[in-house]
Structure 1
Amino acid sequence: MKHTLYPWDRGFTLRSWREEDSHAMADLHRRSIFASGEDHYTKEQQESWAHGLTANGYTECAKDGEVYIVAVDETDTPIAFCGYKNSEICGLYVDPAHQGRDIGRRLLFRAFINISQIKPDKITLSASAPAKTFYEKYGYKSVGERTYKTRGGIGINVYDMETDQIKYSDQLGPHNGRELSLMLAGQKRVAFFDELNPVEAFEPHISEGKICCHNFPEISQDLYDLIKIRESQLMSFDTAALYYLPGEEARMLELKAALLELTQRNTRERFFQLHRRVGKLLDYPDEAINYYIERRRQRLEEKHG
């Protein structure tokens, strides 16, 4: 099976787990354990860590509530995966042949935006010694070191890590992290996500017909072009999407049109009119819209006068 990849995918895409992925996941999981050599763990420790990895293990964890996000190449072959449960990152593994391609960061951020939908105070994880610096790079801090008994019975040192306390604003982006719960409660009719898209959190409700989804690659192309101009090193990111309640397709399409117009050249007056309309269509309260517009106005005045 071939995937159509966008430029911002950078040669891979993320999708939700399927049971048939499990054999490939076990293989890449095993290879990633041995990839760091013996800088952190002995050969015996690595073999104990990799002991007992089977395809069925991922199926059993999924039944127990772990959610997997899988990175696949254009042939739909898994090349990395990340698992999370509630507010914990349970594991992240990248095939050694595909490391250094921004896959780990994108998986970690995708897990973060999904977990954020339950509004946790913090996100936690346990990192192996080789992975510790990777997580530190993205804001996770070690809160303790301990010995973890691997599947083969031999202990390895691991680090319990967590984010700082996550702050949620009632003024700027007041629905951030609450889009799903608000939509299920009927208090929000449309939600928009650009480079970070909580696909896994929304998928069960889409399959039940409670929420609809419209992928929005046009805005992703604009974002990609902007990053390509400004950044020396391009990052990969998810395709933008609009989620909407059944019966709200007209509202979703109006929001899509406003967002597309915002990517074009506008007078300053029209620019703020569009932002106000976007806020209204997203069901933001007036005080939050006014706060956001005032902040944008101040920034524009500081930049251009």
Structure 2
Amino acid sequence: MSANKISLRPADEKDGWALSAIHIAAIKALPATFYTEKELLAWRNHRNQPDAANILKNMKLESLWVAVEGDIVMGFTSFVVDELIGLYVHPKYQGQGIGRALVEHFCHRASDRGIDKVITTASLYAEGFYLKLGFTAIQRTPHYLRNGLFVPVTKMSKILNIPEGIV
């Protein structure tokens, strides 16, 4: 499988279980190097099993896009206007260009709206990934998890090329 075989589409309510499963699996696959086991557990909302209702309640469908091959949801991203809020790819599909395709889709949509700079808040694990995609680290900052814990993250930005005719 390669990124050429995947397609991107807006998420819908039927994707809730897959989104939750990807979110949990992606975080469970992380080693406890940058964050403790307790922080990683809090990051996935203390869940070991997917919960479609919970993830759909916490993320707005209008800003969710999924990467699919056939009927298989392999990853997703959440964004609003100029901010990439979340990006998760199931560990089984990581390293195949899916994350890159989702980030590029977000950047193209922002650029098409005349936005010249986008931002994201990257986990310490994802910082290198975003640097490879042309993002620049701005600063380390705390990110508060739902249970009151906070973890260090990196605010990042990327300058976009605006298409001709849009200003």
The TM-score bracket by the shorter chain reads 0.7 to 0.9
Whether 1:90 and 2:85 are equivalent positions in the alignment is yes
Count residues in correspondence: 163
Give 1:9 shift: 5.0
| Structure 1 residue corresponding to 2:164, chosen from 174, 187, 191 | 174
Q: Any gaps of 5 or more consecutive residues in structure 1? A: 1-6, 182-305
Establish whether residue 58 from structure 1 lines up as the match of residue 56 from structure 2.
yes
2:34 pairs with 36, 40, 50, which one?
A: 40
Picking from 117, 129, 152, the partner of 1:122 is 117
The runs of 5 or more residues in structure 2 that have no matched partner are none
* 8 A contact 1:68–1:81 mirrored in 2: yes
Moved more, 91-100 or 117-126: 117-126
Instruction: Quote the Cα distance in structure 2 between the aligned partners of 1:8 and 1:28.
Output: 18
How far off its partner does 1:37 sit?
Answer: 1.0
Structure 1 residue 52, shift from structure 2 partner: 6.0
Alpha-carbon spacing, 1:14–1:44, altered in 2? closer, same or farther (3 Å): same
Q: 1:19 aligns with which of 13, 22, 25?
A: 13
Structure with more of its chain in strand, by fraction: 2
Is 1:113 aligned to residue 111 of structure 2?
A: no
In 1, the alpha carbon distance for the partners of 2:86 and 2:25 equals 14
Classify the secondary structure of the residue corresponding to 2:21: helix
For CA contacts below 8 A with separation 6 or more, give which structure has more relative contact order. 2
Q: 1:138 to 1:47 in 2, by over 3 A?
A: same
Aligned to 1:155: 150
- Give the superposition deviation at 1:60: 5.2
Distance across 1 between alignment mates of 2:164 and 2:139: 33
For the residue of structure 2 that corresponds to 1:119, the secondary structure is: coil
Larger Rg: 1
| Residue 13 of structure 1, CA deviation | 2.0
Counterparts of 1:204-215 in structure 2, within 5 Å, are none
TM-score with structure 2 setting the length: 0.87
CA shift for structure 1 position 48: 0.8
Which of these residues, 143, 146, 171, is aligned with residue 141 of structure 2?
146
TM-score (norm 1): 0.49
Of Structure 1 and Structure 2, which has the larger fraction of its residues in helix?
1
Question: How far 1:42 moved relative to its partner?
Answer: 1.0
- Correspondence 1:72 to 2:68: yes
Offset, 1:58: 2.7
- Distance of 1:8 and 1:158 partners within structure 2: 29
Instruction: Give, in angstroms, the shift of residue 153 of structure 1.
Output: 2.2
Closer, same or farther: CA 52–19 of 1 in aligned 2, 3 Å? farther
Say if 1:141 and 1:162, in contact at 8 Å, map to a contact too.
Answer: yes
Alignment CA distance shift 1:155-1:110 (3 Å):
same
RMSD of the TM alignment (CA)?
2.2
Q: Tell me, in whole angstroms, the C-alpha distance in 2 between the residues paired with 1:10 and 1:93.
A: 18
1:51–1:151 Cα contact (<8 Å) kept: yes
One-letter amino acid of the counterpart of residue 50, structure 1: R
Q: Secondary structure of 2:99's partner?
A: helix
Amino acid at match of 1:163: K
Runs of 4+ deviating beyond 3 Å: 7-11
SS at match of 1:37: coil
